[in-house]
Structure 1
Amino acid sequence: MSTKVLQNKKTLSLKTKTIATLISVVCAVVIPQIFHILGAASGLGTSLGEIFLPMHLPVILVGLFAGPAAGAVSGVLSPLASFALTGMPFIANLPFMMLELCAYGLFAGLVSGVRMPSVAKVLVAQLAGRVVRLAALAVAFYLFDATKIAPMSVVYSVKTGLFGLALQWTMIPLTLFFVESIAAKHE
């Protein structure tokens, strides 16, 4: 991001950050439902959501645009709101998704001001989210004897979600570039 855009981001009001967080939560509920509808229509069920990871996009974006607090709050509230409204993600997966998405948003916000390529920022957020998910699964598995959810499920979810990861590597930097170019025109 350009220096001017970064300076503007630092001065975003609480109201703007709150609105950005709410928009992110709404998008993180609506976009996966589109994938679920397409999955149901094509006979694939919920697997399109597992493949394309549509809930992750708005959470990472709000972290990059509005900072770590907005990203973390969006990450916690998005799966919770989705579960309350749609029953997805499944209850057994809900706390793990809340922690993972919270980490995505938090770390995206923490690296948003660091000078590195946008795709590297996305990779940092993705890695942090998966590490947090793995740690949470390990705690549940080893300390609470939750044997139905194994830590190795992270490996499965990464394999299944490779298209979604690639989508994030392309869509998020393109969105950042688009927003930055619009912001530069209005300076």
Structure 2
Amino acid sequence: MEHTMVRDKQSAAGAALRIALTVAAAVLLPQLFHAVGAISGTGTALGAALLPMHIPVLLAGLLYGPVVGVAAGVLSPLLSAAVSDMPTAALLPFMVLELGVYGLTSGFLSRTGLHGFTKLLLAQLAGRAARALAVLTAIYLLRNIRLEPAAAWQFVTAGLFGILIQWAVIPLLVKYIQDRRNQHA
């Protein structure tokens, strides 16, 4: 009984550490992109196109499961908004939902026998679909929002280049980290 309690405390502490590190990466990485955007004159367009906050959240879900994934997905945009006003208040609820769904979905999919790229693709589709549905819901339920239904499609397609980068980078990082884990196990 006592051994189980110690293991549970270590597991909770490990999850908290993973969440904290993921949130830190998900907040700091976009700041790097915003700094480059400020220097290059592209402003926030670089971050909007490359989606740097999404990478740590997807990795967290794929590597550590749904609890760490969803916590990192929800907390990352909230903390980022608190420290940098990015994402803006208008975009914050949509990002919290999208990244939360990314983390949750990728976390559940991490427990399946699906190919790594398939897990990533399904998580991306779920997160983007949740965001599009939220935007459409906001447009139709909150009639005073000045958005056209086409805005939902724009939110989905805005980061296509970032999604391509995720396809190239995330499966390789997951494989590398899992291989390293297996070597030390």
Aligned CA distance change for structure 1 residues 112 and 150 (closer, same or farther; 3 Å): farther
Q: Which residue of 2 aligns with 1:8?
A: none
Cα distance in 1 for partners of 2:173, 2:152 equals 27
Q: Could you tell me how far apart the structure 1 residues matched to 2:95 and 2:147 are? A: 13
Q: Segments of 4+ in structure 1 off by > 4 A? A: none
Q: Residues 65 and 112 of structure 1 are in contact (CA less than 8 Å); yes or no, is this contact kept in structure 2?
A: yes
- C-alpha root-mean-square deviation of aligned residues, in Å? 1.4
Counterpart-to-counterpart distance in 2, 1:178 and 1:135: 34
Aligned partner letter, 1:159: T
Is it true that 1:139 corresponds to 2:137 in the alignment?
Answer: yes
Once the two structures are TM-superposed, the CA of residue 145 in structure 1 deviates from its matched residue by: 1.4
Please point out which of 92, 104, 113 is paired with 1:115: 113
The equivalent position to 2:21 in structure 1, one of 20, 23, 26, is 23
CA distance change for structure 1 residues 59 and 151 in 2, over 3 Å: closer, same or farther?
A: farther
1:85 equivalent in structure 2:
83
Determine the structure 2 residue equivalent to 1:156: 154
Report the Cα distance in structure 1 between the residues aligned to 2:16 and 2:157, rounded to whole angstroms: 34
State how far apart, in whole Å, the 2-side matches of 1:24 and 1:83 are.
Answer: 16
Does the 8 A contact of 1:50 with 1:157 survive in 2? no
Structure showing greater radius of gyration is 2
DSSP 3-state at the match of 1:17: helix
Secondary structure (helix, strand or coil) at the match of 1:114 reads coil
Stretch deviating more after TM superposition (156-165 or 111-120): 156-165
Alignment match, 1:14: 12
1:65-84 pair list within 5 angstroms = 65-84=63-82
How far apart, CA to CA, are the structure 2 residues paired with 1:102 and 1:136? 13
Q: What runs of 5+ residues in structure 2 fail to find an aligned partner?
A: 1-9
Task: Quote the offset at 1:146 in angstroms.
Answer: 4.4
CA contact (8 A) 1:137 1:150 kept: no
Looking at structure 1, the residues matched to 149 and 75 of structure 2 have their Cα atoms a distance apart, in angstroms, of: 23
Distance across 1 between alignment mates of 2:68 and 2:179: 23
Deviations 1:26-80 (A, max 9, x none): 1111000000000111010000001100000011111111111111111111001
For 1:129 and 1:25, the matched residues in 2 are separated by 18
Q: TM-score, normalised by structure 2?
A: 0.90
CA shift at 1:149, angstroms? 3.5
Question: Share of identical aligned residues, percent?
Answer: 43
Distance 1:73 1:151 in 2: 30
Q: Which moved more, 1:113-122 or 1:157-166?
A: 157-166
C-alpha distance in 2 between matches for 1:184 and 1:144: 50
Q: 1:36 aligns with which of 8, 27, 34?
A: 34
CA distance in 1, matches of 2:147, 2:96: 15
Structure 1 unaligned regions, length at least 5? 1-11
